[in-house]
Chains A and B, each alone.
Chain A
Amino acid sequence: MALRHLTRAFTRLSLIPSVRSLSTVTTDLSRLHPLLDHTDSPPDLDQRTPFPVNRPPNLHLQQANEDVDSPLSKQEQARLQKKALVVKRVVNMNGKGKQPSMYALVVVGNGQGLAGYGEGKDEEASRAVRKATQRAIKNMRYFERYDDRTVFADIEHKFHATRVFLRTRPPGFGNRSNHYIHEICRCVGIHDISGKVMGSRTPMNVIKATFEALDKQTSIEDLARRRGKKVVDVQHVYYGA
């Protein structure tokens, strides 16, 4: 009874064509077997490139890439106002001794409200400036201006030991402030502002303080909405620009 079961299972199994050949006792070695024989063997014994390398054709080693992943196109990026405000030699002390490198802080802007700053460090000054410029383009953000020429209200901001005061001024006043604030406002597109730096005047910190100060502005509409008030522009309607 058990043997009959086995034979029946065996016949059912041998109905599968690939298995049928396995079940045959006599093996025909003159013909190639589809499963057991490999037909794509090389004619010689040497292995020809077992791991193919897909290296891109032009590889720039030791060179920062000019393309920056940014919503601005390459032409727009080239047209931006770029100013390297801080380029200095910094030193890293370690067990091997003094490791000098160049540090650069670049401010970038389009004069229409978009601006940002970036820092870069490299052995060569030009490469550091390029790194900083790319980071600055990536870090750009839009700053709101009143009437496209000045800040909304007087701003007072403290960053570390640097205190920055930015005051709104009427049209035609000009940009009268610390030379770093002056450059930043030129990149942002602020034409009438009075600025003063009190306390520490370290260039790096003045630039960071100014950007933070411009960041923390609130527009007039936001102010009015928070207090539940209606805001009306009297200046332009009754007195003109």
Chain B
Amino acid sequence: MPRVHDLCARIQNGFRARLHQIAVPDTKMNLAVSNIMYHEGFVSNVVRGNHQKPDETYTPTTNDNVATRRLWLTLKYASDAPVLSRMNCVSKPSKRITLTVHEMKDLTSGRRAKGVQPLQPGEIAIMSTNQGLMEIHQALEKNVGGEILCRVR
């Protein structure tokens, strides 16, 4: 049951408050989504760390320190404006949205699909497929469909 609403809220709030870095819980899902955001250029750095600050040197996660482990994302701003304006969930527990490859092609070429508004220039969508979490264009290259988790603008 992939749910990214917590990450969406934290990232949006961090950008609105013009924070330099934010700490999110260190989970596999959060790490995967943060990696996609980093590769797409919304976030400039993804580092593991403490609840107080990122790690300077590599610190393995053990049973002792697992409660304080966080993921630190360095937020990006350009020309006096945040690079990310909106990050919201698409598939929610109240209404799950799964897309086939054909529907994904519609979304990326400016047509509405399954009640989801088409992607605008500069917008990305993060999909959860059976080959892992990836961006919608990567999923199209691999020809796999899946659940559309969130869209980032």
Residues of chain A touching chain B, judged by Cβ–Cβ distance below 8 Å, are 152-154, 168, 220, 222-229
Could you tell me if B121 and A152 are in contact, using CB atoms closer than 8 angstroms? Answer: yes
Q: What are 10 A-B pairs at a CB distance below 8 A?
A: A168-B110, A220-B122, A223-B121, A224-B122, A225-B78, A227-B42, A227-B76, A227-B122, A229-B40, A229-B41
Could you tell me if B122 and A153 are in contact, using CB atoms closer than 8 angstroms? Answer: yes
> Could you say which residues of chain A place their CB within 8 Å of the CB of B110?
168
Is B47 part of the contact surface with A, judged by Cβ < 8 Å? Answer: no
Is B83 part of the contact surface with A, judged by Cβ < 8 Å? Answer: yes
Is B138 part of the contact surface with A, judged by Cβ < 8 Å? Answer: no
Instruction: Name 18 extra pairs, CB < 8 A, besides A227-B42, A227-B122, A228-B41.
Output: A152-B121, A153-B120, A153-B121, A153-B122, A154-B117, A154-B120, A168-B110, A220-B122, A225-B78, A226-B41, A226-B76, A226-B78, A226-B79, A226-B83, A227-B40, A227-B41, A227-B83, A229-B41
Residues of chain B touching chain A, judged by Cβ–Cβ distance below 8 Å, are 40-42, 76, 78-79, 83, 110, 117, 120-122
A225–B83 Cα gap in the complex (Å)?
Answer: 10
> Could you say which residues of chain A place their CB within 8 Å of the CB of B121?
152-153, 220, 223
> Could you say which residues of chain A place their CB within 8 Å of the CB of B42?
227
In this complex, which of A152, A154, A224, A225 has the most chain B Cβ atoms within 10 angstroms of its Cβ? Answer: A154
> Could you say which residues of chain B place their CB within 8 Å of the CB of A228?
41
In this complex, which of A168, A224, A228, A229 has the most chain B Cβ atoms within 10 angstroms of its Cβ? Answer: A228
**A155 to B, closest residue via Cβ:** B120
A154–B76 Cα gap in the complex (Å)?
Answer: 24
> Could you say which residues of chain A place their CB within 8 Å of the CB of B76?
226-227
**B124 to A, closest residue via Cβ:** A227
> Could you say which residues of chain A place their CB within 8 Å of the CB of B41?
226-229
A229–B121 Cα gap in the complex (Å)?
Answer: 13
How far does the Cβ of B142 sit from chain A's closest Cβ, in whole Å?
Answer: 20
Top 9 closest A-B pairs, CB basis?
A227-B41, A226-B78, A223-B122, A153-B120, A228-B41, A153-B121, A226-B83, A229-B41, A154-B120
A154–B119 Cα gap in the complex (Å)?
Answer: 10
How far does the Cβ of A70 sit from chain B's closest Cβ, in whole Å?
Answer: 28
A154–B86 Cα gap in the complex (Å)?
Answer: 14
**B83 to A, closest residue via Cβ:** A226
A154–B42 Cα gap in the complex (Å)?
Answer: 20
A153–B118 Cα gap in the complex (Å)?
Answer: 11
A154–B120 Cα gap in the complex (Å)?
Answer: 7
> Could you say which residues of chain B place their CB within 8 Å of the CB of A226?
41, 76, 78-79, 83
A227–B40 Cα gap in the complex (Å)?
Answer: 7
> Could you say which residues of chain B place their CB within 8 Å of the CB of A229?
40-41
How far does the Cβ of B15 sit from chain A's closest Cβ, in whole Å?
Answer: 12
How far does the Cβ of B47 sit from chain A's closest Cβ, in whole Å?
Answer: 18
